[in-house]
A and B are shown apart, each in its own frame.
Chain A
Amino acid sequence: MCSHFLRSQRVPSSEMTPEELLSEIWQKFLGTVSVDGDGMGLASLDLNQVTIDAEVPERDGRVVWLIDQIGGFEAMAHRREDILRRRFGRGPAGGGRRMVQPQSDIEFSEITSDADAPSALDAADGVRVWRGLLATADLEFPQNDDLSMLLRLLAEDPDILQDSSGAQWPVKEIVARLNHRFPPPSWTDDRVDNAKRRLMNWIKRLQRKNGLDAVELEALFARVARQHERGGQVSPARPRQSEKLMT
Chain B
Amino acid sequence: MVEADGGATGGREPSDQSPLPTLDQRANFYLRAVYGDRDFTNEDYTHARNLLLQEMAADIAGRSKTPRSGSAALPEDQAPHRPIEDPANGLSSAPGFQPAPGRRLRPRTVATRIAAICATGAIAAVAVLLFAGIRPTAWLPWNTPAHDYRAAVQPSPPPEPSGRAPSSMESRIAAAQRELDSALNSAPLQPPEIAALLKRGQDLISDGKFRLARLVLEQAVEAGSAPAALALARTYDPSQPERSKVTPDAPPDIAMARAWYQKAKDLGSAEAARRLGQLPAPAAATAPSRPK
Number of interface residues of A (CB under 8 A): 144
The secondary-structure label for the interface of chain A is helix
Tell whether A106 is near chain B: CB-to-CB under 8 Å.
no
Top 5 nearest A-B pairs (CB, nearest first) are A214-B90, A31-B55, A223-B57, A227-B61, A129-B99
Across chains A and B, the number of contacting residue pairs, with CB separation under 8 Å, is 438
* CB neighbours of B51 from chain A (8 A): 23, 27, 31, 241, 244-245
- In the complex, besides A33-B60, A42-B20, A115-B104, 18 extra interface pairs with C-beta distance below 8 angstroms are A5-B183, A26-B34, A37-B7, A42-B119, A64-B180, A68-B176, A119-B104, A121-B105, A126-B101, A134-B68, A138-B65, A203-B92, A213-B22, A213-B108, A217-B91, A224-B61, A242-B34, A247-B209
Give chain B's interface residues, CB within 8 Å of chain A.
1-2, 4-9, 11, 13-14, 17-23, 25-26, 29-30, 33-34, 44, 46-65, 67-68, 70-76, 78-82, 84-85, 87, 89-93, 95-108, 111, 117-119, 121-123, 125-126, 129-131, 134, 139-141, 144, 148-149, 151-154, 156-158, 161, 172-173, 175-177, 179-184, 186, 193, 196-197, 199-200, 203, 207-212, 215-216, 219, 249
Contact B7 A131 (CB under 8 A): no
Contact A245 B21 (CB under 8 A): no
* CB neighbours of B173 from chain A (8 A): 64-65, 68
Q: Given A198-B2, A198-B4, A30 and B29 touching (CB < 8 A)?
A: yes
Contact B200 A14 (CB under 8 A): yes
Return A211 CB to nearest CB of chain B, in Å. 4
A168 to B181, CA, bound (A): 61
Tell whether A176 is near chain B: CB-to-CB under 8 Å.
no
Q: Given A19-B216, A113-B49, A58 and B152 touching (CB < 8 A)?
A: yes
Contact A194 B4 (CB under 8 A): yes
Which listed residue (A44, A46, A64, A201) contacts B4, Cβ 8 A? A201
Chain A, residue nearest B172 (CB): A68
Tell whether A172 is near chain B: CB-to-CB under 8 Å.
no
Tell whether A107 is near chain B: CB-to-CB under 8 Å.
no
27 A-B residue pairs with Cβ-Cβ distance under 8 Å, sorted by A, are: A14-B203, A22-B33, A23-B30, A28-B55, A37-B7, A56-B144, A58-B152, A63-B130, A65-B173, A72-B179, A125-B99, A126-B100, A130-B79, A131-B72, A140-B8, A154-B96, A161-B98, A169-B96, A211-B22, A218-B105, A220-B57, A220-B60, A224-B64, A232-B62, A244-B51, A246-B211, A247-B209
* CB neighbours of B154 from chain A (8 A): 49-51, 61
